[in-house]
Amino acid sequence: MRRMGPGEVAQLLAADGEPPILLDVREPWEFRICRIEGSLSIPMGQIPGALARLDPNREIVVICHHGIRSYQVARFLEQQGFTRTANLDGGVAAWARDLDPAMPVY
């Protein structure tokens, strides 16, 4: 699993080619407060039952509030055979701090 900061994820999104799946594993109430545009919301507890919704051949950047839940989910995905996983270090809190100061925080 790769660990990526907000700037690295932004560069990946801006690059030519197929963009990564932005997998937001926060709870729905958190996702309603703020999100990175284009994120797919699947709460952490629903990931095991939602594996079929994810493409194991695509890059997947896992996102949460501060990067702890997303790290656990990225590790789980690796154990399930997903080989292109990355964790957004610092989560949406770091994204808001470093890249999007207009993003609501909680």
Q: What pLDDT score does 16 carry?
A: 93
b/e string for 75-99 if b means 16 or more Cβ within 10 A?
A: ebbeeeebebbbbbbbbbbbbbeee
Q: What pLDDT score does 77 carry?
A: 98
Angle at Cα 5 formed by Cα 45 and Cα 69, nearest 5°?
A: 15
Q: What pLDDT score does 1 carry?
A: 93
CATH (one of 3.90.1150.10, 3.40.50.300, 3.30.2130.30, 3.40.250.10) for 2-98? 3.40.250.10
Q: What pLDDT score does 40 carry?
A: 98
Does the annotation mark 64 as catalytic? Answer: yes
- Which of the following is catalytic: 42, 64, 77, 94? 64
What is the pTM for the complete model shown? 0.97
39-50 pLDDT, tens per residue? 999 999 999 999
Amino acid in position 58: R
Ranges of each domain in the chain: 2-98
Name the band, by pLDDT with cuts 50, 70 and 90, for residue 51. very high
18-44 pLDDT, tens per residue? 999 999 999 999 999 999 999 999 999
Q: What pLDDT score does 46 carry?
A: 98
Mean pLDDT for the chain overall:
97
